[in-house]
Every structure is written in C-alpha cells, then in structure tokens.
Amino acid sequence: MSDTVRRLPWGAERHIRSSFTVEPSSSLDSTIKPGEYTLHLLLNQFFIAAEARIIDVCSENKQHIPLNQCLKRGDDVHFDQLLDV
C-alpha cells in the first residue's frame, strides 16, 4: 500500500492510502466549494449504486419477485446510506 497526497479542488491536501494509483486530474477547478465537491461525489455514488440496483432487479433470478420486495430498505446497506444522506 502506498501513501499519497492528493490536493482537493479547494486547496486542501488529503493523505490517501491505497493499493492502486490514480492519476490526479490536471484540470482541477479551484473555484469549486467543498459542499459542491461533496454533493458531486455523493451524486456519483448514488448513480453508480442505483444503476447496480436496477441491473440486479432486472436480472433473470429476480424477475419473478415483485418490484417492491426487490427494492425494499435493508437489502443494500450502502444504497440505504446514500438515500439517507
């Protein structure tokens, strides 16, 4: 695992430990506010989780289950947390 320092869009630095490397974006927007950045990240996580849920619900093994049972709270803790935010 490597410990790297990432510069956040509003100028703060964050130490990140990861086993993989990601090239930082060279076009960081220095005018973005921390709240906007956080909202952007949360929306991206929500869209990814929602797409995964839709794919799961549309899969062959869940087509016989009613939709309201497939999407009930408690089945996916991560998705429930995103909805609570």
Are the beta carbons of 7 and 22 closer than 8 angstroms?
Answer: no
Mutual angle of helices 77-84 and 34-57, in 10-degree steps: 140
Mean pLDDT value across the chain? 76
Element at 6 (helix H, strand E)? strand 2-7
pTM of the model as a whole: 0.54
The 10s digit of each residue's pLDDT in 46-81 is: 888 888 888 888 877 777 887 777 777 887 788 888
The 10s digit of each residue's pLDDT in 19-29 is: 545 555 556 67
